[in-house]
Amino acid sequence: MGFGDQESGMKRRDWMTRAAALGVAGSLPVWAVAQTATALQLVVPVPPGGSVDLTARLLGEHLPKSLKQNVVVENRAGASGSIAAAGVARAAADPNTMMLVFDSHVTNPLVYQNLPYTLKDFTPISRLLSFPLVFAVPANLPANNVQEFIALAKKKPGALNVSSAGLGTLNHLAAELFKARTGTHIVHIPYRGGVPALQAVMNDEVQLFMGSWVAIGPHVKSGRIKALGVTSAKRYSVAPELPTLQEAGVRDFDVATWIGALAPAGIGAERQQVLHAAVTQSLGQPAVRQTLAQQGLEWIGSSPAEFETFMSAEARRWQDLVMQQRLSFS
């Protein structure tokens, strides 16, 4: 079943309604489709600040040397990245447009109805970076490891809550996967962004939040919350003392945030390879990788084919989870 074919029990938000609320319904701003003769337009689907924007700024600094072409970084936030993606999809065959994407790129079709694009409207360049989520609980919760948390959740079905940055976000889906894998009943409470979702676990309003180490780490070190594990299949380089959830006994659990680069469809194989070489060369430099590592971002630098396969697999697995858990995003 394709990504746009979901039915049974799953409600989604209408993309055009959301876009209208952001002031972009019906037509896209000129920046999304205009082509600059000598500059590569690098579209960033988030506001300034954060891991995706940091990656874009590093590319903006180093790509001109690799491409021998000026680079203009343009932030275009809204609707979990789908506003920016719609604009880039409209720039079909434009060799001077590229965008960064993150995990929401493959989950947005689950959340929003009537998206004006599909995954086929883009040319994969590379999955660049990745980092796991951290399994964080309040400092006073009577659980000091993942198995104790599971036991507590099973002892009190429906009494524990988990926060997320919003419906359909990766930490929401990771929580649903955790519930499915462990047979626990934990109530999901969506917040408007990661900051209030993290604040909720610090204030003991919820008993679980899965977020980035950059956000969670300082509060673990201060003793306000406890970190019980990480969601990736292997241990996290910046917090190697934390076990993976698989090590803690949660089967088949491997979830990580990722950042990748895409171009519009139709740019041709030669330009695709040029962009891939330039992007991976720019971010793969030791000094740049060190800067990224300091922010907890682990280097991948995949091939275009590997990235395409990865996105398809991610789309399928989250769609399967949504259907299995009968999730609603309305």
Q: For the segment 125-169, what is each residue's pLDDT rounded down to a tens digit?
A: 999 999 999 999 999 999 999 999 999 999 999 999 999 999 999
The tens digit of pLDDT for each residue in 172-229 reads 999 999 999 999 999 999 999 899 999 999 999 999 999 999 999 999 999 999 999 9
Domains and CATH numbers, the chain: 13-131+257-325 (3.40.190.150), 134-230 (3.40.190.10)
Site of tokens 């746009």? 4
- Other CB atoms within 10 A of residue 54 CB: 17
Confidence of residue 328 (pLDDT cuts 50, 70, 90): confident
Mean pLDDT of 291-300: 94
Residues in CB range of 182: below 8 A, 6 or more apart: 150, 153, 250
Query: Is the per-residue pLDDT at 68 higher than 80?
Result: yes
- Give residues with Cβ within 8 angstroms of 233, minimum separation 6: 244, 246, 253, 254
- Asked whether residue 29 carries a pLDDT value surpassing 90, the answer given is no
The residue with tokens 């300091």 is 294
* Contact residues for 217 (Cβ-Cβ < 8 A; gap 6+): 134, 227, 238, 239, 296
**Partners of 122 in beta bridges:** 264
Cβ–Cβ under 8 Å, residues 283 and 59:
yes
pLDDT digits (tens, 9 = 90+) for 217-271: 999 999 999 999 999 999 999 999 999 999 999 999 999 999 999 999 999 999 9
pLDDT computed for residue 33 by the predictor: 32
- List C-alpha distances in Å: 13 to 39, 144, 175, 311: 35, 38, 20, 22
Residue in 128, 126, 127, 120 with CA at minimum distance from that of residue 266: 120
**Residue 298 and residue 212 in contact, taking contact as beta carbons nearer than 8 Å:** no
CA distance 169 to 171: 6
pTM of the full predicted structure?
Answer: 0.86
Q: How large is the greatest C-alpha to C-alpha distance in the chain, in angstroms?
A: 64
Contact 119, 110 (CB under 8 A): no
Residue 74 amino acid letter? E
